[in-house]
A and B are shown apart, each in its own frame.
Chain A
Amino acid sequence: MVLDPQLIWNGLVVGSIIAVSALGLTLIFGILNFINIAYGDYMAAGAYVAWAVNAQVGLPLGVAIVAGILTMSVGAVVLDKLVFQHFRSRSPITLLIVSIGLAFIIRNFIRAIWGPSGHFYDLPMEANPSFLGVRFSVEQVAIMVTSIVLLLGVYALLRRTRIGIAMRAASDDRMLSRIRGVDTEKLVLYVWLIGGAIAGLGGIMLGLDAQLRPNMGFTALIPIFAAVILGGIGDPKGAVAGGYTIGVIQEASVAIIPSEYKFGVGLLALIVGLLTRPDGLFGEATR
């Protein structure tokens, strides 16, 4: 079967977006132990803030991106203090449902401010160059490069810094790490800062690759979840591996099945993965 390099390239780009977003989600899950359905809407919010700064206020895209990331980073902490913190002692299912309520609020807030129709970032229109038969766009290259930089950065953070090591410890076994003196509340702050920033960046990349719509985050959430769970929930490298896997499979599947169903591929990968390797690709799920 000939695998079209264009599809593989598209898959890597989409995979980057999914991998980065899945990383943020899995880090949050690892420390806080619940699935945050509002994460998709954090991504959307980041994308929209960046859009507002870029297309409505007129600042260059770079500034807009930084603004989007910072807003969601701080925003995630604020939302935690306002909402999730009060439910810290409750069951993960309650937190899941609370996150659903929050997702409703954020998504409709976006609709209320920016309207339900689609938007695009304010970018110069250029013909897409071609390299070895694969058509690519500047945005796609930017997405890939940014993703790789971010993934390396988070890897370094988790492996080399005290905070990172503490995060991994708390993610593996919260009680044990507290016994060893890790301040889990401070970790929660860090994980929201990092996770929120990643969500904002993921959303912006999604908006760059496709389009901005109020439900963009929620729609993307399914492949992202598939990646998180496939990679083993709580396992950062699994989330990344899962993200690229799903991205490539999803885009490559267009060669065999109608393209409207490509999201179904993520679902199938998820179901197959859960039934055959419930602990994730690397067997390191932390639940």
Chain B
Amino acid sequence: MALVDLLLVVGIIAGVYSLLAIGMNMHWGDTGLLNFAHAAFFAVGAYTSAILTTPPATGDLATRVVGFDFPILVGLLAGTALAGLVGVLIAITSVRLEGDYLAMVTLSSAELIRLMIHNEAWLTTGAQTLKNIPRPLSGMVSSGGTIPVSYDVFYFVLVWAIVGVCYLLFTRLSHSPFGRVLHAIRENDDVPLALGKNVTTFKLKSFGIGAAVAGLAGGLWAHYVYAISSIMFLPSITFLIWAAVIIGGAGSYAGAVLGASVIVFLRQITRFIPGDVPFGDQLAYIRLMLVGAVLILVLYYRPEGLLGDAERLQAGTSE
């Protein structure tokens, strides 16, 4: 594969992960919420958009009954909205809980959602892959088509344009009165409460907004890879995004994007080392071990991350 093609693919994945990290940063960096359910929001966005834009297959082995043929834009918007709603629902059960408990409840909720996706084959094709998800403008974008660039270039630009818009949106939100209340909540629940703010509502909104952008990421992902299955949405995705946000610097949206890009780069680039290198078979696992090691090292030597702010280090501690 030519280097440029490789970089484009890695770049697209990095863009999707950056969106996930931006959402996570609203939860953790801005509001101090230990959300371990992010993979579920990603999945909800992906599956919603896929189901709404893909009619069910009609072969003998087809298990899915539900399917539509809406335009991709509808799918993406619906995916974003539904993910946000799911975020709020999960948050309702857990935002009043302290940090560690919030983490466990969100983690379990996410696994439950993944189980539902895995089992309800009539809706989601269950354990098999949901295939033939349409790619936006695929007819028009190709070397000979109306927009004469390769599809990957188009998608790269699309994803990163969306990342750019979200980055601007979220940083503005962070500096707005809404954002300031979130930061106050992050430091200590009691102060905003004493000032008369409905802390629970703010937490729910924060959860919902972060989840919605994760849903958008999911939709974009689904329409790029055009086939999804429940295995792609394991909790390890959530943990990778966590690693990204921490390494990049919690509290900083630029850090979130940087961290996500670093993690994706680390993982994808080692994919292309030739297979006859010693431990070639285990490279996939060694890559993930590396991520774990980098996370621990960053936490030790530079806990505020690459672009973070040392003050925000104290954020989110429940004591």
> How far is it, in angstroms, between the C-alpha of A189 and the C-alpha of B103 when the chains are bound?
27
Scoring B239, B279, B296, B303 by chain A CB atoms within 10 A of each residue's CB, the highest score goes to B296
Residue contact B285 to A111, C-beta cutoff 8 Å: yes
A91 and B111 in contact (CB under 8 A), knowing A108-B292, A274-B101? no
A261 and B292 in contact (CB under 8 A), knowing A93-B318, A225-B104? no
| A196 adjacent to chain B (CB < 8 Å) | no
| A134 adjacent to chain B (CB < 8 Å) | no
Which chain B residues lie closer than 8 Å to A98 at the CB level?
295-296, 299
Which chain B residues lie closer than 8 Å to A270 at the CB level?
104-105, 108
Residue contact B111 to A100, C-beta cutoff 8 Å: no
Which of B97, B282, B294, B295 makes the CB contact (< 8 A) with A97? B295
Residue contact A100 to B289, C-beta cutoff 8 Å: no
Task: Kindly state the interface size class of chain B when it binds its partner.
Answer: 35 or more
> How far is it, in angstroms, between the C-alpha of A276 and the C-alpha of B168 when the chains are bound?
41
> How far is it, in angstroms, between the C-alpha of A264 and the C-alpha of B34 when the chains are bound?
21
Residue contact B242 to A97, C-beta cutoff 8 Å: yes
Shortest C-beta distance, A85 to chain B (Å), equals 11
> How far is it, in angstroms, between the C-alpha of A92 and the C-alpha of B316 when the chains are bound?
10
> How far is it, in angstroms, between the C-alpha of A104 and the C-alpha of B286 when the chains are bound?
10
By beta carbon, the residue of chain B nearest A258 is B119
10 contacts between A and B (CB under 8 A): A35-B104, A92-B100, A92-B319, A97-B242, A101-B295, A104-B295, A225-B108, A258-B119, A263-B111, A275-B93
Total count of chain A residues near the partner, CB < 8 A: 43
Residue contact B104 to A218, C-beta cutoff 8 Å: no
Which of A34, A102, A229, A287 makes the CB contact (< 8 A) with B292? A102
Q: Give the contacts of A257-287 with B (CB-CB under 8 A).
A: 258, 260-261, 263-264, 266-267, 270-271, 274-275, 278, 287
Shortest C-beta distance, A79 to chain B (Å), equals 11
Interface string of B203-241 (1 = CB under 8 A from A): 000000000000000000000000000000001100100
Which chain A residues lie closer than 8 Å to B319 at the CB level?
91-92
A93 and B101 in contact (CB under 8 A), knowing A104-B291, A108-B285? no
Interface string of A217-246 (1 = CB under 8 A from B): 010001001100100010000000000000
Q: Is the interface of B mostly helix, strand, loop or mixed?
A: helix
By beta carbon, the residue of chain A nearest B119 is A260
| B288 adjacent to chain A (CB < 8 Å) | yes
Q: Give the contacts of A182-204 with B (CB-CB under 8 A).
A: none
Residue contact B295 to A229, C-beta cutoff 8 Å: no
Which chain B residues lie closer than 8 Å to A34 at the CB level?
100
Which of A93, A258, A266 makes the CB contact (< 8 A) with B317? A93
Residue contact A109 to B285, C-beta cutoff 8 Å: yes
Which chain B residues lie closer than 8 Å to A271 at the CB level?
93-94, 105
Scoring A86, A104, A266, A278 by chain B CB atoms within 10 A of each residue's CB, the highest score goes to A104
| A56 adjacent to chain B (CB < 8 Å) | no
> How far is it, in angstroms, between the C-alpha of A111 and the C-alpha of B119 when the chains are bound?
26
Residue contact A229 to B112, C-beta cutoff 8 Å: no
Binding site for B on A (CB under 8 A): 34-35, 83, 86-87, 90-94, 96-98, 100-105, 107-109, 111-112, 218, 222, 225-226, 229, 233, 258, 260-261, 263-264, 266-267, 270-271, 274-275, 278, 287
> How far is it, in angstroms, between the C-alpha of A226 and the C-alpha of B103 when the chains are bound?
12
Given A100-B295, A111-B282, output 12 extra A-B contacts at Cβ < 8 Å.
A96-B34, A100-B239, A100-B292, A101-B295, A101-B299, A104-B236, A104-B288, A258-B119, A263-B115, A267-B105, A267-B111, A274-B105
Residue contact A112 to B295, C-beta cutoff 8 Å: no
| B293 adjacent to chain A (CB < 8 Å) | yes
| B63 adjacent to chain A (CB < 8 Å) | no
By beta carbon, the residue of chain A nearest B239 is A100
Q: Give the contacts of B103-146 with A (CB-CB under 8 A).
A: 103-105, 107-109, 111-112, 115-116, 118-119
| B244 adjacent to chain A (CB < 8 Å) | no
Which chain A residues lie closer than 8 Å to B93 at the CB level?
271, 275
> How far is it, in angstroms, between the C-alpha of A168 and the C-alpha of B235 when the chains are bound?
33
> How far is it, in angstroms, between the C-alpha of A68 and the C-alpha of B247 when the chains are bound?
34
Residue contact B296 to A101, C-beta cutoff 8 Å: yes
Shortest C-beta distance, B64 to chain A (Å), equals 17
Residue contact B286 to A112, C-beta cutoff 8 Å: yes
Which chain A residues lie closer than 8 Å to B105 at the CB level?
267, 270-271, 274
Residue contact B291 to A93, C-beta cutoff 8 Å: no
Which of B100, B107, B115 makes the CB contact (< 8 A) with A264? B115
Closest 3 A-B residue pairs measured CB to CB? A104-B292, A101-B295, A112-B282
A260 and B300 in contact (CB under 8 A), knowing A100-B242, A104-B295? no
> How far is it, in angstroms, between the C-alpha of A234 and the C-alpha of B69 when the chains are bound?
53
Q: Give the contacts of B290-319 with A (CB-CB under 8 A).
A: 291-296, 299-300, 303, 314, 316-319
